[in-house]
């Protein structure tokens, strides 16, 4: 378990919590007489912790996003695909305790099992050391990673590609305000689609504000398409 703790950047005071977090129900069912318990209860708790930390982060770092966009962004961050990426970064599959059948059937690489185990591990960290280390792990492996992807993404181009799926679509970026002193000015931009505002963003440059407006528009338009 030491290798996993090194990945987490956290050492358990109660190693039994981590052991429980890695115990799949198939293993627990086969070893019930020995007192094995599945990680399902920890998964339940970890899901709430992950959602709360992510919601807090989005609320504080994206003051321009309305409730609907915040909800969609949080859902994207805590989805199974995102958690599987975390599991792979931890090498979590090798540490899982699976029943014989689940192990033979490729359970160590099954996305649902890996994602659930990530949530269980987060809960185990929370129970062992409190919210601070759990928050730090979420920040490092989910929130910072997403922010880095965001910095590398051209949201204006992505929005243009999205709306061009239908012909005759017209995008327009409008500077609607600015505030603050010259050395720290904040610009506000709205992006319109066919004359209707579909996104709003702020930034310390017009370019940054336009990128944030495009990001908000993508979230809004993709949400309507679901």
| DSSP class of 140 | I
Please tell me the distance from the alpha carbon of residue 10 to that of residue 25, in angstroms, as a whole number: 25
47 catalytic? Reply is yes
For residue 48 the two structure tokens come to 């709430």
Please tell me the distance from the alpha carbon of residue 14 to that of residue 124, in angstroms, as a whole number: 9
| Residue 203 neighbours by CB under 8 Å, 6+ apart | 186, 187, 189, 209, 210, 211, 212
Annotated catalytic residue, options 43, 47, 128, 190 = 47
| Residue 16 neighbours by CB under 8 Å, 6+ apart | none
Please say whether the beta carbons of 119 and 88 come within 8 A.
Answer: no
Please say whether the beta carbons of 162 and 220 come within 8 A.
Answer: no
119 catalytic? Reply is yes
Annotated catalytic residue, options 69, 116, 119, 128 = 119
| 3-class state of residue 191 by DSSP | strand
The residues annotated as belonging to the active site are: 47, 119
């Amino acid at each position: 378990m030491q290798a996993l703790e090194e990945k987490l950047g956290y050492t358990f005071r109660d190693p039994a919590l981590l052991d429980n977090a890695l115990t799949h129900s198939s293993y627990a069912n086969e070893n019930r007489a020995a007192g094995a318990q599945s990680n399902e209860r920890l998964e339940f708790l970890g899901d709430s912790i992950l959602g709360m930390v992510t919601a807090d982060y989005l609320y504080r770092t994206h003051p321009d996003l309305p409730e609907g966009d915040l909800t969609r962004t949080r859902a994207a961050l805590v989805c199974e695909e995102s958690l599987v990426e975390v599991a792979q970064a931890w090498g979590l599959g090798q540490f899982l305790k699976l029943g014989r059948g689940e192990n033979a059937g490729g359970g160590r690489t099954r996305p649902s099992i890996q994602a659930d185990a990530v949530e269980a591990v987060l809960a185990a960290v929370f129970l062992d050391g409190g919210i601070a280390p759990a928050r730090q792990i979420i920040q490092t492996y989910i929130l910072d990673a997403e922010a880095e992807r965001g910095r590398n993404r051209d949201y204006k181009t992505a929005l243009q590609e999205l709306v061009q799926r239908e012909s005759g679509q017209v995008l327009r970026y409008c500077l609607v305000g600015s505030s603050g002193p010259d050395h720290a000015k904040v610009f506000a931009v709205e992006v319109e689609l066919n004359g209707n505002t579909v996104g709003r963003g702020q930034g310390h440059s017009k370019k940054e504000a336009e990128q944030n407006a495009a990001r908000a528009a993508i979230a809004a338009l993709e949400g309507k398409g679901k």
